[in-house]
Amino acid sequence: MVLFLASCMKDEFPKPTVDLELQAKEVHLNIASAELASATVNVKYGNTGYTVESSDSTVATVSNAGVVITITAVNEGTATVTVKDAHGKTATIDVTVAISVPTTPTFTWNGQAVKFDEAGGYGITILSDRVAFTDLLNEQRQYILSWSGGFTEGVKTNGMLVIVSAGAEPEVKELTTFRILKSESNSHYIVFSDGTSGGQLYFNRE
């Protein structure tokens, strides 16, 4: 008697390849303050096996741990960070590095800019101990920056950044550093950090 043995194997379907997409396409850094000299950008979609490269390491260096990409400022200028995944898909981040106090309205958190005081941008509300940025039409998001101590120059306490997005729980960032570096006439320059990410705000009161 001849016995034939047959085995059944489960069909394995390869995972589809997706385009590489990042959470941010541009980053603004400022080495005037340690809080502002680095930022992280996460991979939103991709195919694993990520590698990163800076077009000019004298301006900004880059490293990654899996999906988390860390960009660090070195000197003033511009550079492009290129991210590649295991399937050869690529995405880029435009990096701008400054070394001075801004002279135009600026609000960044973790290197990512929020445009305000311009057509189609966020509206700004200024109170004695907080500043809020609101966009209900496009991004449906609000940033609320608060602290104790008013707008005089120096270190402030009780700093907090709350990010409210439509359909999501508010993100609350307790700030470990909060300094008003410039307070002249109606212009103010503020830097802040939660110990991991940094932000800056420059605005003029009319």
Residue boundaries of the structural domains of the chain: 19-100, 101-206
pLDDT above 70 (res 6): no
pLDDT above 90 (res 186): no
Residues in the chain: 206
Q: What is the mean pLDDT of the chain?
A: 90
* The CATH number of the domain covering residues in 19-100: 2.60.40.1080
Nearest to 135 by CA among 127, 123, 149: 123
Asked which of 45-49, 68-72, 183-187 is least confident by mean pLDDT, the reply is 183-187
Contact 73, 56 (CB under 8 A): no
Tell me which of 16 and 83 has the higher pLDDT. Answer: 83
d(CA 5, CA 84): 46
- Average pLDDT (151-162) is 96
Q: Is the dihedral of CA 26, 31, 33, 35 positive or negative?
A: positive
Q: How is residue 3 written in tokens?
A: 């016995």
Q: How confident is the model at residue 14 (pLDDT cuts 50, 70, 90)?
A: low
Q: How confident is the model at residue 192 (pLDDT cuts 50, 70, 90)?
A: very high
**Can you give the pLDDT at residue 154?**
93
Place of tokens 């920056």: 145
d(CA 50, CA 21): 12
